[in-house]
């Protein structure tokens, strides 16, 4: 009994020293969330890893819709390597809705904007390898 307790204590100590977190080493980080208020994104820059998605959440209970497109300052400008944003007319959000993008599979810098709020809703997405 005493010997088995010592073995267990030794294993626990070795795992602690090795920094074992209880999850597989290849576990993916949580998918990022970008919130939207009445006229702004919750952030203006976001860095993600290749293959991750982004969940966009409209936190308003009432108010104007948002129409997200790839591009800057409210102008839809498709960017090579970026996922599709609801077709040519963009992704429309009514108050309280959310949407998760397809995976961002190509490293690079991309831009997301709202056609309804072109001067205040601009997000730069950095996708890293």
**The tokens 């073995």 sit on which residue?**
7
SS3 label, residue 55 = strand
Phi, psi (rounded to 5 degrees) for 17: -65, -35
DSSP 61: S
Report the C-alpha gap between 58 and 117 in whole angstroms. 13
Residue 69 to residues 3, 6, 14, 20, 111, Cα–Cα distance (Å): 64, 60, 50, 41, 8
pLDDT, tens digit, for every residue of 19-58? Answer: 444 444 445 558 899 999 999 999 999 999 999 999 999 9
Higher pLDDT pick, 2 / 83: 83
> Is 2 a residue whose pLDDT tops 70?
no
Contact 108, 127 (CB under 8 A): yes
Q: Report all structural domains of the chain as residue ranges with CATH numbers, in order of start.
A: 30-128 (2.60.40.420)
Quick one: pLDDT band at residue 18, thresholds 50, 70, 90? very low
Place of tokens 């959000």: 93
Length in residues, the chain: 129
């Amino acid at each position: 009994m005493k010997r088995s307790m010592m073995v267990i204590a030794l294993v626990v100590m070795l795992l602690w020293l090795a920094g074992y977190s209880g999850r597989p080493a290849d576990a993916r980080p949580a998918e990022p969330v970008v919130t939207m208020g009445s006229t702004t994104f919750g952030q203006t820059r976001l860095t993600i890893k290749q293959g991750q998605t982004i969940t966009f959440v409209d936190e308003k209970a009432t108010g104007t819709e948002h129409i997200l497109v790839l591009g800057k300052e409210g102008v839809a400008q498709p960017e090579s390597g970026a996922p599709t944003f609801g077709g040519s007319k963009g992704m429309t959000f009514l108050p309280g809705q959310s949407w998760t993008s397809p995976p961002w599979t190509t490293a690079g810098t991309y831009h997301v904007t709202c056609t309804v709020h072109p001067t205040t809703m601009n997000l730069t997405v950095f996708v890293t390898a």
